[in-house]
Amino acid sequence: MRVVILGSGRGSNAEAILQAQQTGRLGRAQVVKIFSDKPDAGILALGPRFGVPAEFIDPAPFKTKLEGAGEERFIAAVRACAPDLVVLAGFMRVIKPGFLGAFAGKIINLHPSLLPAFPGLDGIGQAFRAGVKETGCTVHYVTIEVDAGKIIEQARVPLAPGETLESLTARVHAAEHALLPAVIARLSEGAK
């Protein structure tokens, strides 16, 4: 299963995927390319470390969504990789119908809450401020509605006594780093 990763930030979830690949825990999946919409994103530095090509693609003209000329550039670049799966790992853009249509049923996202609770930005902070007893992370298929696609799998993170936002954030990130590679491995073996 050919995997393309899209990310905008430091790339900790992409790094977890690449480490799983390096240690034989990614099933039949193989990351073939990393793309970012930010020229200085840390995720791009992972490519050389793990022997995977990594490339910046100009997302212009929009700042928060993938549409227009930027969307066309992303579609062409990702399509050239012939992916079986496109993984959004901290890709901070709203995906639009053009990209969704080009890779229908092949795009997954990782969100830092137990969806459908706390969609959108700052899922961990939203959950913490709401005073929930547990939160976690969700891997789901991407649809036109943000964080509303079919849930593939979730990992639960109960709040500990004396939990701070910082400690909760660290524990949710640890759960993400375990969940996302495991889901990719299972998808690569044909388990949905």
Active site residue 173: no
Q: 């049923």: which residue's tokens?
A: 105
- Catalytic entry in 111, 140, 173, 177: 111
Q: Is the dihedral of CA 102, 111, 180, 151 positive or negative?
A: negative
Cα–chain center distance at 19: 15
Strand (E) or helix (H) holding 7: strand 2-7
CA nearest neighbour of 110 among 176, 174, 188, 171: 176
The answer to whether residues 124 and 162 touch, using CB atoms and an 8 Å cutoff, is no
Whether the Cβ atoms of residue 36 and residue 9 lie closer than 8 Å to each other: no
Distance of alpha carbon 108 from the chain centroid: 7
Picking from 94, 84, 71, 68, the residue whose alpha carbon sits closest to that of residue 31 is: 84
Which DSSP category does 140 fall into? E
Neighbours of 58 (CB within 10 A): 11
Q: Which residues carry out catalysis?
A: 111
